[in-house]
Amino acid sequence: MRFIYPVSMGQMPAATNALRVLRFLASQPDPVPLSRITQACALPRSSAYHLMNTMIEEGFITHLVDEQRYGLGVAAFEVGSGYSRQAPLQRLARRPLASLADAVGESAHLAVPHGRDVLYVIEERAPGRPPLVTDVGVRLPAHLTASGRAILAGLPAAQVRALYPDRQSFVERHGNGLRSLSALRIVLAETRQRGFAIEDGAITPGLASVAVPILDHNGLPLAAVAITYSSEAGPDLHALVARVKRTASEVTRRVGGSSI
């Protein structure tokens, strides 16, 4: 795979457009037509073909000719695999999460978005606390979890709509949970207003969680920090949220993200 990219200021817009295309395609469940890409990434159609052809030649995009659609290529997979191998987010977040769990006496988690799910990549279990369903490697529906809601609340409305196109997109646990996009939008609006996400009993009856997003350099959610506690005998919510926010801010700073 070749990386021969000019670094002059004149080339910066092209690089920015290429990264926007990659980020958009990574957010889609399936390959999409060129018109969707140009609209979502605000690309002039006159230059879009040249950009797409260059990215196809480098292997970052695949053109499905029969379907007239574009998707991520093998080179994009290689970049993602390299990130997974190096696990920089986990390395940077592990110590702050351990400190958080010690400070509040409850189990702490780090989750990243994975389609309509969140994938748990760190669990710091507090002493004396029972094992939880949110173990490392577990995937859970984003709309049901505090971590997922914290992440979804920071995404553009169009991206949330693309993730949940119909009622079949909303799975349930224990017979409760959100069942429509309109219900999800209400929850996400409340999450943005209060500055943190919460769920109570949607994943495990008797347990609640609060979560705050970790932001990337564009202010978009990269992951979420969460604490899980007993619904009946939980800690002071105000103090707990303050601790979680402090940890999320620290990890955001460590990964070079924008301030929360």
pLDDT tens digits for 23-68? 899 888 889 999 999 999 988 887 888 899 999 999 999 999 889 9
Look at residue 5 in the predicted model and tell me its pLDDT.
40
What mean pLDDT is predicted for residues 98-112? 94
Cβ contact 202:145 at 8 Å:
yes
- All CATH 3.30.450.40 domain ranges of the chain, comma separated, are 87-254
Mean pLDDT of all residues in 247-252? 96
* Residue 11 pLDDT > 50: no
Instruction: Using pLDDT thresholds of 50, 70 and 90, give the confidence band for residue 225.
Output: very high
CB 177 within 8 A of CB 170: yes
pLDDT: is 131 or 37 the higher one?
Answer: 37
**DSSP letter assigned to residue 176:** B
Paired residues of 185 in beta bridges? none
Q: How big is the chain by its Cα radius of gyration, in Å?
A: 20
Query: In this predicted model, what pLDDT tens digit does every residue of 179-195 receive, in sequence order?
Result: 899 999 999 999 999 99
CB 142 within 8 A of CB 151: yes
Who has greater pLDDT, 130 or 140? 140
Nearest to 120 by CA among 90, 155, 161: 90
**pLDDT value of position 214:** 95
**Cα–Cα distance for residue pair 44/38, rounded to 1 Å:** 7
Q: Which of 17-21, 24-28, 233-237 has the lowest mean pLDDT?
A: 233-237
Q: Mean pLDDT of all residues in the chain? A: 87
CA distances from 115 to 51, 72, 162 (A): 26, 15, 10
**Sequence ranges of the chain with CATH classification 1.10.10.10:** 9-80
**DSSP code of 88?**
H
pLDDT attached to residue 85: 59
H or E segment and range at residue 213: strand 207-215
pLDDT for 201 equals 87
Quick check: 51 and 66 in contact, CB under 8 A? no
Query: What integer pLDDT is reported at residue 7 of this predicted model?
Result: 38
What is 87-254's CATH number?
3.30.450.40
Closest CA to 93 of 250, 260, 199, 238: 250
Average pLDDT over residues 252-256: 91
Contact 146, 109 (CB under 8 A): no
Stronger pLDDT, 177 or 178, i.e. the higher one: 178
SS3 of 121, please?
strand
pLDDT of 235 above 80: no
Residue, of 233 and 211, whose pLDDT is higher: 211
pLDDT at 178: 82
Query: How large is the average pLDDT for residues 231-259?
Result: 90
155: three-class secondary structure by DSSP: coil
Residue 110's nearest CA partner among 133, 89, 130, 129 is 89
Q: Which CATH number fits domain 9-80: 1.20.1630.10, 1.20.1260.10, 1.10.10.10, 3.40.50.970?
A: 1.10.10.10
To the nearest 10°, the Cα dihedral for 57, 63, 65, 66?
Answer: 150
